[in-house]
Amino acid sequence: MVSTLKPGVLTVASAYPDPPFDVSAGDYRSGFDIELMRNICTTFNVRLQTVAYTGSNFNGIFDGLARRDYDAVISGTTITSDRAQIVLFSQPYLEFGQGVAVNRAAHPHVHSVGDLKGLIAGIQQGNTSEIPARKLVGEGILASIRFYAYDGILGALGDLEANRIGCIIKLHPVITELVKNRPTLYVPLEIPTHEKLGIAFAKDNARLCEAVNASLDTLTKNGTLETLKQRWITP
């Protein structure tokens, strides 16, 4: 059995709402990442315990690893060089670009980043979508960025529906899920940022990281990872 903060329990933090990776329905939590961790827990013969992160900046979720509040972070988490300086990451398990959501009535003909000319982009604090957004501002395409607290994504969607901002940039499968039941919004564009997703651990917890990597290898070889991908992510 792997060594965890609580014997027999793997405690994992996720940020909500972050579909299709983390989905909360009352006390029950599911989604691609949650189901992936349940399968990993099965290989370790431990129980999964989920913790909901509700901070205003997503990067604050990693502080809990250093404080030993939880064993791991998995929430559609992109591996970046800055984050890798403070946490350990598992091997990548998925890769995506950034999706761009716009108001269907206001911007029905968006096909490329050039079509975003003059728009204000809504970005959550701590999201890697800030990187391509700042690049587009620097290139004179986006007019500016309006930042929202990480847990304020529903407010950002409301602002987009009301034309108070011109677009929202967020990891493609997540923003696609978030606008699915909002008929005035759509995602016509994906920026190819090629971001790799990984599971984060405390910097000094290499043993658990290595054990999870071995489990990811097993779940890849036996087809479980692909089954989860087909269920939660592939249209």
Q: Do domains 9-93+198-232 and 97-194 have the same CATH topology?
A: yes
Query: Strand ranges (DSSP E) for the chain?
Result: 9-15, 23-25, 28-30, 47-53, 72-73, 87-89, 94-103, 120-124, 144-148, 167-171, 185-197, 200-202
pLDDT of residue 234: 75
**Contact 161/114 with Cβ under 8 angstroms?**
no
Could you give the count of Cα atoms lying within 13 Å of 109 in the half-sphere of its Cβ?
A: 1
In the chain (235 residues long), the average pLDDT of successive 10-residue segments reads: 92 94 82 96 95 94 97 97 97 98 96 97 97 98 97 96 98 97 97 98 97 97 97 85
pTM of the model: 0.94
pLDDT of residue 235: 66
What are the residue boundaries of the structural domains of the chain, listed by start? Answer: 9-93+198-232, 97-194
**Contact 173/235 with Cβ under 8 angstroms?**
no
Of 166, 83, 158, 69, the residue nearest 128 (C-alpha): 83
- CA 234, 34, 150: angle at the middle one, nearest 5? 90
Fold of 97-194: D-Maltodextrin-Binding Protein; domain 2 (3.40.190)
Q: Which residues pair with 96 in a beta bridge?
A: 195
Q: What is the CATH number of domain 9-93+198-232?
A: 3.40.190.10
Q: Which residues pair with 73 in a beta bridge?
A: 13, 200
**Contact 74/195 with Cβ under 8 angstroms?**
no
pLDDT of residue 24: 81
